[in-house]
Structure formats: structure tokens, C-alpha cells
Amino acid sequence: MGTENAMLAATLAEGTTVIRPAAQQPEVDDLIAFLQSMGAAVERTFPDTIEIEGRKRLRGAEHRVIPDRIEAGTFITAAAVTGGKITLQGASCDHLAAFISAADRVGVGIGCGADTIEVDGSGLGAGTYKATDIETAPYPGLATDLQPPTSVLLSQATGVSHVHEAIFEDRLEWLSEVRRMGATVEMPDAHHATIHGPAKLVGAEVEIGDLRAGASLILAALAAEGTTTIHGAHHVHRGYENIERKFLDLGANITSSAEGTTDTPS
């Protein structure tokens, strides 16, 4: 967001602005394309450099926003940890290479179409999921936002997996909540976790600390036996549109309260 906000301000600023190091996520390039269609003089001149020549005004334009790769990864994981099969419409594998590579190493069946992703989680029931190691990194590496759902997936894989969270200091703290559900997780420091699987997850009362952790606790609850009560669901709502409705349409049993609590019976 720092790169995007600076870029937005620079489009109407006097003179030339150079942003370095600029974020390389596809969402940034999508914003560049949108601004260009509005008449902005903005260009990525090197992988980590964006140059903007300020304009006095911009014009209206029509633009189709790219698919949300983090939401796509969340629903891929949902199918994987429940042994389900789903098709994601309007989603692309192009921006999920590192995540799909990790899921493939685990044993999740993923088929990539032009704008669809087919997910086959039947390997879970067959006991073919295998442990693997992951490390978050700036794009095109594994997104830190996809580390929590990937960690839920690793809890269902046979063997010992290692997680290296290289971006944020506190991004692994949420794993203490998944431990309450039966996951076997060791966290020697703020950046590393060891996950032993497969774990038989059971329903529990847990607390959401942030957006991605919240979505991942829903995934764990869907894979768990019994009912899980998740407090702090408002965190999830700010990053996922109608997430409960989408899971309900897929056959999940979820109820929400006005206080931001989500009950998820397996």
C-alpha cells in the first residue's frame, strides 16, 4: 500500500517522482494500468522502480480489477483441508505460482484454466498429503498473507513441516489459537514454526487477531470435528466480501452474530 499511495499522490504532483524500491505485486501493476488508462504518465521502468510524471488532471476510464489472489488461495486451501472439490471462477494461477507450488508439494490437486482454478482435495482422505517447508518472501515469492492458510494445510500433511515467516514479526502468533484446536505446533521464535501432522483438529473457542489469521481459523474450523466458536469476525469481513455466504454455498455450516462471533460446526 505504501507504493500505491505514493503512486496515486505523484500522478497529480508537479514534476517527476521516482519510487524505489517499489512493490512488485500484480496489484501494483494493475493500478499502473488503470492510471495509464486515465491519462497518468506512470511506468515501471525496472522491476523495483516506478517513475511518474505529474499531470494536472486525469480523465475517466473503465477498468476490470484483477482477481484477488489471497482470496483465491484461501478457498483453494478450504477445499484442500476438507477433502473437497471446487472450481474458482474468475481466478488465475498466474499470480499464485509460489503458493500453488507449495500446495502441489503437499499433494493438493490443482488445475489451471484461463480464468478458472480447479481444486481436488481428495488426497486428504487418501492420506497422501506430505509435509513440506515454506518461507514467505516479497512477490513473486510466497505471500505473507498466504502463510496462515498454508499453515492450516500443513497441519493436515503427514510429517514435519517448517514455516519461516520472513516478513512480519508477529505473523505466527495466531498459531497458538490453532493449537487450541489440536494442532501440534512449536514456535522457537517469532519467525519460525514447526508443524507436526496430520493433526486431528477439534472444535474450540478461539480469538481472531487479524484478517488473514481469522480466515485461516475458519479454514481450521471447517476441517475440525465439532463446533468452533470464533470471536472477532469483524477482522475477516474487512478483507473478504460475503465470506460466510460463499462458504455456505459450498456446503459449510456457519452462523454469525451481531457481536462478530462466528460458529462453525464441522
What pLDDT, in 10s, does the model give residues 56-95?
Answer: 999 999 999 999 999 999 999 999 999 999 999 999 899 9
pLDDT of 149: 97
pLDDT at 33 over 80: yes
Does domain 69-265 sit in CATH 3.65.10.10?
yes
Interval 113-137 mean pLDDT:
95
pLDDT of 260: 60
Domain boundaries, the chain: 2-53, 69-265
pLDDT of 222: 96
Q: How far apart are CA 216 and CA 121, in angstroms?
A: 17
pLDDT of 261: 61
Model confidence band, residue 258 (pLDDT cutoffs 50, 70, 90): low
Residues in contact with 208: Cβ distance below 8 Å, sequence separation at least 6, in sequence order: 214, 217, 230, 231, 232, 233, 235, 236
Interval 176-186 mean pLDDT:
96
**197 closest CA partner among 183, 179, 180:** 183
- Looking at every residue in the chain, the average pLDDT score rounds to 94
Q: What is the pLDDT of residues 134-157, one digit of tens each?
A: 999 999 999 999 999 999 999 999
Share of the chain above pLDDT 90, in %: 87
pLDDT at 262 over 80: no
42 burial level (CB within 10 Å; 0-12, 13-18, 19+): buried
pLDDT of 170: 87
pTM above 0.85, yes or no: yes
* Helix, strand and coil in the chain, % to nearest 5: 35, 25, 40
pLDDT at 164 over 70: yes
Model confidence band, residue 194 (pLDDT cutoffs 50, 70, 90): very high
Q: How far apart are CA 122 and CA 9, in angstroms?
A: 48
Q: What is the pLDDT of residues 43-65, one digit of tens each?
A: 999 999 999 999 999 999 999 99
Three-state helix/strand/coil letters over 119-151: EECHHHHCCCCECCCEEECCCCCECHHHHHHHH
